[in-house]
């Protein structure tokens, strides 16, 4: 595979063009073209000679869309093919306030959560920052109308564990929030982690105050370890301390994801334990009924159970909401589409 030009920030593009003997305005033209989601060969203001030189060293496009699925609720799911042939997926969810794109950070995942389809084949490789950024640039270009941005919010909740690909993910965050690029505000970006507490602390130091989301899904370490092997390495108490540190550094309230799994984590006892664990903390809990994955035997809690659980948390003084499951008719859950694509 050649290099990915979207890995470069504006200053590096300027240095590159200087090394090729090109004037500075060419760097700007190239950077703007890339920020508009164009492949090198489609940036028409650049001359054929320059494009040929660039294409010797760089991939024309780091990824292309090979399949789009549209849900009745407006959600769109994409399968992307990377330059080396690997497949990743992404989702665009449409809300009143804007469009939220869910990006992948790795091909597959090695965290091994039992409810998740992304981890079925293990981790294949990390994505580079430019491969993550290109998911946003490409989908943004498809949905941009006039000067309106097609993507207003980004969530790092596709395949992969973002903090297991730390350097590339941080570079992506720098580039996607850069004022001279697509310039999405850190406040409109959420990074979700299964709880790599050491990396959560590092992220707190980066000066990019994205919303931090932790996939909790259980109330005790022992129960958590049944579905999330990472619980053997990082205890809930350590994760909570890292969350508090993140809050102290960024001033951002943190969020917990809690997928309701029938017979596993949504009894009255669990609600009480969750209240005990989180009361008084500057956090919010996102409940979601499990998206059932055919390769896994876990079942979703029913709606009645879910609303009972929500009510108990709210009664206990926690800020909590039950998320609707978008795109359930198109394999909305993490990794489902890629898994079914690789199957066929
Ligand atoms: N690796 C990161 C981000 C990717 S997953 C993390 O663990 O947070 C994004 C979210 O979807 C996580 O909260 C994950 O636990 C959740 N998830 C995965 N599979 C799911 C399923 N089948 N149903 C509901 N949520 C699921």
pLDDT tens column, 87-129: 999 999 988 889 999 999 999 999 999 999 898 889 999 999 9
- Report the pLDDT averaged over residues 35-53: 96
Span from the CA of 288 to the centroid of ligand 1 (angstroms): 10
Catalytic site residue from 14, 113, 194, 334: 334
CA-nearest residue for atom 9, ligand 1, is 157
Q: Name the strand (E) or helix (H) holding 242.
A: helix 236-250
Flag whether pLDDT at 331 surpasses 70.
Answer: no
Per the structure block, which two tokens stand in for 44?
């028409």
pLDDT in tens, 209-228: 999 999 999 999 999 999 99
Q: Is the pLDDT of residue 344 over 60?
A: no
Ligand 1: does its nearest atom lie under 6 Å from the Cβ of 290? yes
Task: Decide if 193 contacts 215 (C-beta within 8 A).
Answer: yes
E strands, 195-292, in order = 211-215, 254-260, 283-289
Rounded percentage of the chain residues whose pLDDT exceeds 70: 94
CA 157 – CA 175 distance, rounded (Å) = 18
Rounded to the nearest integer, the mean pLDDT of the chain is 93
* Structure-token match 């063009």, residue found: 17
334: Cβ below 6 Å to ligand 1? Answer: yes
CB 163 near ligand 1, within 6 Å: no
Residue 297 has pLDDT above 90, yes or no: no
Q: Quote the CA–CA distance of 297 and 148 in Å, as a whole number.
A: 43
Please, are residues 265 and 218 in contact by the beta-carbon 8 Å criterion? yes
CA 186 from centre of chain: 13
pLDDT digits (tens, 9 = 90+) for 141-191: 999 877 678 999 999 999 999 999 999 999 999 999 999 999 999 999 999
- Indicate if the pLDDT at residue 35 is higher than 80: yes
Rounded to whole angstroms, how far apart are CA atoms 166 and 155? 16
* Closest of 276, 277, 303, 105 to residue 194, by C-alpha: 105
pLDDT of residue 332: 56
Given the CA of residue 300, which atom of ligand 1 is nearest to it? 23
């Amino acid at each position: 595979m050649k290099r990915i030009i979207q890995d470069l920030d504006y200053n590096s593009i300027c240095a590159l063009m200087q090394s090729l003997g090109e004037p500075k305005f060419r760097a700007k033209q190239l950077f703007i073209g890339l920020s508009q989601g164009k492949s090198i060969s489609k940036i028409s203001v650049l001359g054929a000679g320059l494009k040929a030189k660039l294409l010797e060293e760089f991939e024309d496009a780091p990824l292309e869309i090979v399949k789009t699925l549209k849900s009745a609720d407006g959600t769109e799911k994409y399968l992307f093919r990377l330059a080396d042939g690997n497949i990743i997926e992404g989702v665009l969810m449409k809300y009143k306030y804007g469009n939220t794109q869910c990006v992948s950070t790795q091909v597959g995942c090695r965290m091994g959560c039992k409810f998740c389809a992304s981890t079925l084949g293990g981790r294949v490789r990390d994505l580079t920052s430019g491969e993550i950024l290109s998911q946003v640039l490409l989908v943004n270009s498809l949905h941009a109308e006039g000067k309106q941005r097609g993507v207003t919010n980004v969530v790092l909740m596709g395949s992969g564990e973002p903090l297991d690909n730390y350097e590339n993910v941080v570079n992506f965050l720098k580039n996607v929030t850069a004022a001279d690029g697509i310039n999405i505000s850190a406040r409109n970006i959420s990074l979700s982690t299964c709880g790599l507490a050491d990396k959560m602390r590092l992220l707190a130091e980066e000066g990019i105050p994205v919303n931090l989301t932790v996939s909790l899904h259980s109330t005790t370490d022992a129960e958590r370890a049944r579905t999330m092997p990472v619980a053997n390495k990082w205890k809930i108490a350590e994760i909570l301390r890292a969350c508090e540190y993140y809050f102290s550094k960024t001033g951002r309230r943190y969020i917990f994801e809690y997928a309701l799994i029938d017979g596993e984590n949504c009894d009255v006892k669990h609600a009480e334990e969750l209240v005990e664990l989180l009361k008084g903390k500057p956090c919010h809990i996102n409940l979601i009924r499990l998206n059932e994955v055919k390769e896994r035997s876990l079942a979703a809690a029913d709606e009645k159970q879910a609303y009972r659980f929500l009510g108990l948390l709210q009664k206990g003084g926690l800020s909590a909401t039950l998320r609707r499951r978008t795109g359930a008719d198109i394999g909305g859950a993490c990794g489902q589409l890629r898994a079914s694509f690789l199957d066929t």
